[in-house]
Amino acid sequence: MTREAVIESSADVVAVRRLVRSAAIEVGLSLIDQTKIITAASELVRNALVYAGRGELRVDVVENGAKRGLRLVVNDEGPGIPDIEQALTDGWTTGTGLGLGLGGSRRLVDEFDLLSKPGQGTTVTVTKWAR
């Protein structure tokens, strides 16, 4: 079942954490993997909120043979990221954060894909498979 959320405020970020938790439980992720994917979701939707002012999240249950997983797509129509490698570097920030959101999220999931172009927004897709 697909779930969707719009992120326009910091309360929406809290709501996303709740939504991703219930989807992660439904798909059978372990407690640690639930915690990891919720944390990644929190980082990615906060980025959409902070850097683009608004974003959207789509949550899908995905299957690969006998494996089930959770796929999150976080999308915004903000300024985009000029240098993706740099943005993924730990400690790199153009804001006031710790610069760990993107690099950290990539480590917390099994699959990570970042699409972004200046002026054309940013889409981050992450997947966590149940073990």
Partner 1 sequence: MDRVPILKLGDLLIVSIQVDLDDQSVLVLQEDLAAAVVSRGAKGVIIDISAVEIVDSFTGRMLATIAAMCRMLDAHAVVVGMRPAVAITLVELGLSLGGVRTALDLEKGVALLNHVGGTAR
Contact residues toward ligand ADP (CB under 6 A) are 43, 47-48, 51-52, 76, 78-81, 87, 92-95, 97-103, 122
Q: Is 11 in the site for partner 1 (CB under 8 A)?
A: yes
3-state SS assignment for residue 108: helix
Q: Which helix (H) or strand (E) holds 11?
A: helix 10-27
Q: Rounded to whole angstroms, how far apart are CA atoms 26 and 28? A: 5
- Residues 69, 125: Cα–Cα separation, whole Å: 13
Among the residue ranges 10-18, 34-42, 89-97, 107-115, the one whose residues contact Mg ion (CB under 5 A): 89-97
How far is the CA of 46 from the CAs of 1, 49, 77, 129, in angstroms? 24, 5, 14, 23
Query: Is residue 108 at the binding interface for partner 1, with CB under 8 A as the rule?
Result: yes
Residue 131 Cβ vs Mg ion, minimum distance, rounded to whole Å: 27
**Count of CB atoms situated within 10 Å of the CB of 70:** 27
Whether the Cβ atoms of residue 44 and residue 101 lie closer than 8 Å to each other: yes
Q: x-or-dash pattern for partner 1, window 69-98, by CB under 8 A?
A: ---------------------x------xx
Residue numbers at the binding site for Mg ion (CB under 5 A) = 47, 97, 101
The residues that touch partner 1, with contacts defined as CB under 8 A, are 9-11, 13-14, 17-18, 21, 31-32, 34-36, 38-39, 42-43, 46, 90, 97-98, 100-101, 103-105, 107-108
